[in-house]
Structure 1
Amino acid sequence: MTIYYMIVFMLLMVEIVSFVILSLPLPLKVRRAILNAISNSPFAGRVKHVLKITIICILILFADSVRRVVRVTKEYDLAIAAPSTTESARSGYKASQFYAQRNLYLCGSALFLSLVVNRYYLALEAMIAAQDKMQALQTQVEASTNNAKAVEELETLRTKLETRDKEYETLAEKYAAVTKTVEKKKDI
């Protein structure tokens, strides 16, 4: 395997490991810490840039692999049609066809998995942002329910105060009436 296909294979392994790490059922705090480290790291920014360039190179290798598979398949079909082809020539064609297909599947898998990892990462970021927003809204709802309870308590206290004021007024009127009658009795 040539050096660039070894690099593609290593990238494929890194993508598999990163997908497994992102897919683990981790607690929200740990997952948020991992995603924040990836998002905010200056090293991660450089790695993302290098990966974009590498993906473009893998795309070129994929196109070349498709071309090779088509060419090798045509050569093999022509060799099979020729009656003078020996078994060793056929095995050589089969080997070159195998290598071309291996490279095709390797590049295709790396491209597909890079797309999957990227989309999964973006979905996780969106999910964590939504969970943060949900937690903020829950705290606001709890605060508003606490405020609603305080308002209800204030209203009940106001009604109690109004009833006490009415009772005070009626008692004051009764007291005034009683004092008038007592004063009239004193005057008599």
Structure 2
Amino acid sequence: MLKESYSPLDADRFALAWSPSQRGSKRQAVELGQELVRDGYKPAHLLMGLIYEFGGDGIEVDLSKAVDHYRMTAYAIPSPIGYIHLARALMKKGKESYPEALRYLKEADREGATPELNLAYAKYYEPASVPDYATAQQHYLKAALRGRFMGFFGYATMSRRLGQHFRALLVDCTRTALGPFIFLLLGKTARKGF
């Protein structure tokens, strides 16, 4: 984990860059993020990766820059989050990047399995050059059992693709019936995805 210590000022600047309600625009976030990266504040690489992956506010999507920043995050702060973001950006770059993405998903798995990692694996196997719907379905199920709505939706979709229409209907009914309880129990966490 992180061994360096950062000043409270760095943490305050990071919070300002991260919070859209305080900073105003992604342009300002980029400026603050670049400043923090230059100052050696490693958590800022995650912010920069997100900005370049999704773009907006005049910021062009640049998956190469996003991958570079996520790679810095993954190496500086080993955790499933950094590896998962890195794998997602690599998969967005295209099928040629899938083997590298799988390597980082496995690295995330070594750091600790999370429901978001199960969703990431499912998204990897679902559109692979040779789709493996059964494996994707298993990962969606694991995420669903840990309270992630995307797991329910994905499991039902994979069931339909595998010709298991009754199972898909059963999962959709379960999700509808349990939805309010899951939200009460987990709150916004239930909506986390890949």
TM over 0.5: no
Which structure is larger by alpha-carbon Rg, 1 or 2? 1
